[in-house]
Amino acid sequence: MRNALAAAWLAAVMGLSGCMVGPKYTRPAVPTAPADHGQLPAEFKESSGWKRAQPAEAALQPDWWRVFGIAELNDLESQVDVSNQTVKAAEARFRQARSLVAQSRSALYPNVGVAASVTTNRLSGNSANRPQTIREYSNLAAPFDVSYELDAWGRIRRSIAAAHEEVQATAADLETVRLSLHAEVAIDYFELRSLDAQKQLLDRTLVAYQKALDLTQNQFAGGLASGAEVAQARTQLETTRAQDVEVEVARAQFEHALAVLAGRTPESLSLALAPLAGPPPVIPTGVPSQLLERRPDIAAAERRMAEANEQIGIAQAAFFPTLLLTATGGLQGDSIVNWFTWPSRFWALGPTALQTIYDAGRRRAAQETAAAGYDLTVANYREAALEAFQQVEDSLSTLRTLEREVDAQQVAVQAAERSLELAMQRYTGGLVTYLEVVSAQSIALNNERVAVDLLRRRMDATVLLIKALGGGWDVSKLPT
């Protein structure tokens, strides 16, 4: 009879172990236009008319910064993953999440413990229930306890799945941090090199303004110019010199920022003057449907959505009984002589079912909390996807617009240079005052500085496009 009951219990346990309460996870769709019928568009809106990358550049690589072909930038970027403290902190959070998977998985196995004890007891001779003969005795015990919770409703399995999904989300968080920091290094580097170009322009302009001041002083000495014109020329020169110094201040700050991003102290990094030159590379954009797989922040939001779905199942499992199988056995005696003999053995074995009858709505509230948490993650996921599409479209639009602006600005620079040349000729010939020269100088310098800054903006927009596309990452790199 006992064997039959044990077999029936085992059969019931095996049957229940395959049960799992709670909803099955399916990834929600990203909001689309009604005309798309729930399907993402075939291409990005702002990619229409945008030049395509060469076939050899069909996909971004993890070390995407190499597409710029700048060895110094490559060296700085290579130090981020190794030395940046923000990356180290994100990596530590990933290792914490990974250890929780093993912690959750341990619940699938029995918990075995031992509590050996040796005690000597003396009973009071004046107690109401005092023994008539033996008042002193020893108790030596070596019990082994085994307890095992049957995962009848999937609570443990869902806890393990939730922990694993959190590991994947944390891994995606780590990649998001890396992508952001690598992009920040590239942007700061291009900002610094743009300032180098600004300084080169200002230094060249200072030489020209010094010559103009010398000319005005000679004109004044010859009675052909007034003191006011000399003052105007000197003001223009010194104002430009102050701008040149301000560029040096900003450059030093970006150099310090690059050092910290590379995990170094500011005094350990010194970059020689090297003006930014050359147009940015063309970046392959792919199609919108690929973006959901290439952005680590979207992957993190999606994994936390799956994790929240597991929490609903865990909350629902609380409405069902907790099934435990416990066993105790060992040796117990009253002296070291008989402690390890066969008659000293003892054991106990049996199942236990625990069911909460009334909890004043606690489990129901926990279930509602889990459901609301899932809805929150769905909204976060969809918002992250929409923001990703916006960032790609913004970067494409910016790059296309800046390219047209560069062409127009180049014409403006040439016209301003011609205007300055004519103004100097007219002033030298005594046809106009120096005020016209000052005005032409200001316009020419401003247009040249705008042209230099446009290249910086195109470089920054290219980096932001790469970041918006997720760099060279995709979901296949999540830990499994």
Q: What is the pLDDT along the chain (480 residues), one digit of tens a residue?
A: 555 555 555 555 555 555 788 899 999 888 876 656 567 777 787 766 656 555 444 578 899 999 999 999 999 999 999 999 999 999 999 999 999 999 999 999 999 999 999 998 887 777 666 666 666 778 899 899 999 999 999 999 999 999 999 999 999 999 999 999 999 999 999 999 999 999 999 999 999 999 999 999 998 888 888 899 899 999 999 999 999 999 999 999 999 999 999 999 999 999 999 998 888 998 888 888 888 999 999 999 999 999 999 999 999 999 999 999 999 999 998 888 888 889 899 999 999 999 999 999 999 999 999 999 999 999 999 999 999 999 999 999 999 999 999 999 999 999 999 999 999 898 888 888 888 988 999 999 999 999 999 999 999 999 999 999 999 899 999 998
DSSP per-residue codes, 155-170: HHHHHHHHHHHHHHHH
- Type of residue found at 39: Q
Q: Which two tokens stand for residue 292?
A: 């959901």
Q: Alpha-carbon torsion 310, 311, 317, 319, what sign?
A: negative
pLDDT at 56: 42
pLDDT at 316: 95
**List of residues 6+ apart from 462 with CB closer than 8 A:** 280, 281, 283, 395, 399
3-state secondary structure 172-187: HHHHHHHHHHHHHHHH
- Type of residue found at 177: V
pLDDT at 131: 63
Do 360 and 169 form a contact (C-beta atoms < 8 A)?
Answer: no
| Alpha-carbon distances of 47 from 180, 401, 405, rounded to whole Å | 23, 12, 18
Do 120 and 138 form a contact (C-beta atoms < 8 A)?
Answer: yes
CATH homologous superfamily of 16-83+165-320+362-477: Outer membrane efflux proteins (OEP) (1.20.1600.10)
CA atoms of 393 and 291, how far apart (whole Å): 12
CA atoms of 277 and 406, how far apart (whole Å): 14
CA atoms of 465 and 294, how far apart (whole Å): 13
CA atoms of 259 and 270, how far apart (whole Å): 9
Phi, psi of 275 (to 5 degrees): -60, 145
What residue ranges do the domains of the chain occupy? 16-83+165-320+362-477
**List of residues 6+ apart from 236 with CB closer than 8 A:** 209, 212, 213, 438, 441, 442
CA atoms of 241 and 243, how far apart (whole Å): 5
Do 97 and 170 form a contact (C-beta atoms < 8 A)?
Answer: yes
**List of residues 6+ apart from 56 with CB closer than 8 A:** none
| Alpha-carbon distances of 362 from 162, 308, 310, rounded to whole Å | 22, 19, 19
CA atoms of 399 and 87, how far apart (whole Å): 30
Do 303 and 169 form a contact (C-beta atoms < 8 A)?
Answer: yes
CB atoms inside a 10 Å sphere around CB 256: 16
Q: Which two tokens stand for residue 145?
A: 């306890």
CA atoms of 316 and 320, how far apart (whole Å): 8
Q: Which two tokens stand for residue 103?
A: 């912690």
C-alpha angle with apex 188: 176 to 472, nearest 5 degrees?
35
C-alpha angle with apex 128: 124 to 133, nearest 5 degrees?
55
Q: Which two tokens stand for residue 124?
A: 């009071």
Output the CA torsion 329→330→334→339 (10° steps).
150
Do 115 and 135 form a contact (C-beta atoms < 8 A)?
Answer: no
Q: Alpha-carbon torsion 202, 206, 207, 209, what sign?
A: positive
SS3 state at 145? strand
- 87: left (phi > 0), else alpha (psi -120 to 50), else beta? alpha
Question: b/e map of 95-111 (b: 16 or more CB within 10 Å)?
Answer: eebbebbeebeeeeeee
Do 218 and 233 form a contact (C-beta atoms < 8 A)?
Answer: no
CA atoms of 240 and 205, how far apart (whole Å): 8
- Type of residue found at 265: T
